[in-house]
Structure 1
Amino acid sequence: MPSEGQVMMDADWLQPSWPLQSEGVRSFMTTRAGGVSGGAFGSMNVGAAVQDDPAAVAENRARVDRALAAKAVFLRQVHGSEVVLLNPSHALHAAEAPVADASVSTLPGLAVAIQVADCLPVLFAAPGGVAGAHAGWRGLAGGVLENTVAALCRAAACQPADVQAWLGACIGPEAFEVGPEVLGAFGARSDAESSEFFRFRPNAMGEARWRADLPGLARQRLFALGLTQVGGGSWCTFSDASRFFSYRREHVSGRMVAAICLA
């Protein structure tokens, strides 16, 4: 096991590519590789509420910290749109996880951590601050990205045009089957068979279903906010079982983390 303070990042983890990375931002998204969990949670599960061995989860989270050379603050995510501004008290050993689906950090060494297993993680970097958001369809429709960008701009005293975003791995548009309630949440008309981000495809029982493009919906919202640099979003968690956890595919599933901090 690497010694305290040693930076170790598994070669399989996803690494955002953005100019600010060379100016003191550390970021990545874990995959299944690089951890110590076994069975259905093998091997890099960071989820503490999925019946994995707590000692294995603790070691996996410690590996995240060592790879960041920072303390990752995990959230109690509830598919909402609340954003928390991290402070040193959140890094204390006995601190309760904040109830939120996004967080912002302006402190070097205090990292944002977003857990996912099909939902879309979005990382943000700006001069003087970083952020992350858990963007499943409920949070996305509820404004979690808008709230996160606004909170980051307030905390870092910047404008949306100064913010870069990176979309991690999530369930892809060929696999994400949704019903009319999801279309309604985004203001799409369920009587229109297909639209830019919802492709009509009835299921085997003939019920109306659509394939939803979660990264496309996120990009649309980010560009509308004034961001011009948005990357990533090309990996499908559902279709690549060897590399990613997927709750829709497995139900008993581990969790990955997308993390970012100021160095």
Structure 2
Amino acid sequence: MWFTPDWSLPEGVAAASTDRVGGASKPPFDGFNLGTHVGDEADAVRLNREALRLGLRLPSEPAWLEQVHGTRVVTLPCGEPIPQADAAYTHTPGQVCTIMTADCLPVLLCHRDGSQVAAAHAGWRGLCDGVLEQTVARFSGEASDLLAWIGPAISAEAFEVGPEIREQFVAQDPKAASAFVARGEKFLANLPQLALQRLFALGLTQVTRSRLCTFSDPENFFSYRRDGRCGRMASLIWIR
């Protein structure tokens, strides 16, 4: 139901990313859906979240966000029961930064000394508008001291967009053009590459990609573009 991201984390920091295998949810949310907003039965989601918490021995309930494809970052702990945000940051042990995805990019970040962590939800809108920049800005110290992991997301081969989306990225950075390949009147967009460009531009040098495609692997991953109505996976990071 989950796996450990393949990247080098400092002592005292843990991370995990879930898939759809197992769980209590029924089709079309089968089986390990963690989203309460997709139409799944509340009891099924509660059981799945409980299994996640117990299975990973999480130090606290994950900080579930109301994600809106924006750029707001919350610092945990915060006083909002369900913050409307697309990224969470903390320097407090025991706080679990969590975001949900079903094609969008999950990006986990960690300071190399293990003192600060964050999780960001980067769909094309949030990525273009600066959610990664806003998240990195929460960290104290130099961006070159940060480690990043880009989790399972829709691959370029499956993510077709209109020319207006390409134009928005290119208007901010001409190098973004290399992440788009023309297909007829539309383009195939490489979200992981766009995220890499943003992170490198910020000064990060150690970025690991999972290279897992949610769209092309229906057995293991939810994909909103492939299925429409579907569940959500989670990516989590915390200081022990």
- Which interval holds the TM-score relative to the shorter structure? over 0.9
Label 1:89 to 1:134 Cα distance change in 2 as closer, same or farther (>3 A).
same
Structure-2 separation of matches of 1:40 and 1:197: 32
Structure-2 separation of matches of 1:223 and 1:198: 18
Matched residue type, 1:140: L
Aligned to 2:92: 107
Aligned to 1:215: 192
1:88, CA displacement in angstroms?
6.0
Q: Secondary structure at the match of 1:218?
A: helix
Give runs of aligned pairs for residues 76-87 of structure 1, distance below 5 A.
76-87=66-77
Identity of aligned residues (%): 46
Q: Deviations over 1:213-262 (max 9, x none)?
A: 00000001101111111002401111111110000111111000001100
Q: CA RMSD in A?
A: 1.8
Structure-2 separation of matches of 1:32 and 1:69: 19
Q: Secondary structure at the match of 1:139?
A: helix
Aligned to 1:20: 9
Q: Contact conserved, 1:64 with 1:72, CA < 8 A, in 2?
A: no
Please state if 1:146 is matched with 2:123: no
Task: State TM-score, norm by structure 1.
Answer: 0.85
Q: Deviations over 1:6-25 (max 9, x none)?
A: xxxx4xx332233325x011
Aligned to 1:166: 149
Candidates 52, 64, 69, aligned match of 2:58 = 69
Q: Contact conserved, 2:99 with 2:236, CA < 8 A, in 1?
A: yes
Please state if 1:51 is matched with 2:39: yes
Give runs of aligned pairs for residues 179-218 of structure 1, distance below 5 A.
179-187=162-170, 195-202=177-184, 208-218=185-195
Matched residue type, 2:149: W
1:68, CA displacement in angstroms?
4.7
Structure-2 separation of matches of 1:262 and 1:88: 16
Structure 1 or 2, whichever has the larger Rg, is: 1
Label 1:176 to 1:26 Cα distance change in 2 as closer, same or farther (>3 A).
same
Q: How many residues align?
A: 234
Matched residue type, 1:41: F
Q: Contact conserved, 1:119 with 1:137, CA < 8 A, in 2?
A: yes
Instruction: Decide which moves more: 210-219 or 124-133.
Output: 124-133
Label 1:79 to 1:178 Cα distance change in 2 as closer, same or farther (>3 A).
same
Aligned to 1:247: 224
Q: Contact conserved, 2:103 with 2:222, CA < 8 A, in 1?
A: yes
Label 1:68 to 1:113 Cα distance change in 2 as closer, same or farther (>3 A).
farther
Q: Secondary structure at the match of 2:201?
A: helix
Aligned to 1:131: 118
Label 1:188 to 1:200 Cα distance change in 2 as closer, same or farther (>3 A).
farther
Matched residue type, 2:71: S
Matched residue type, 1:121: P
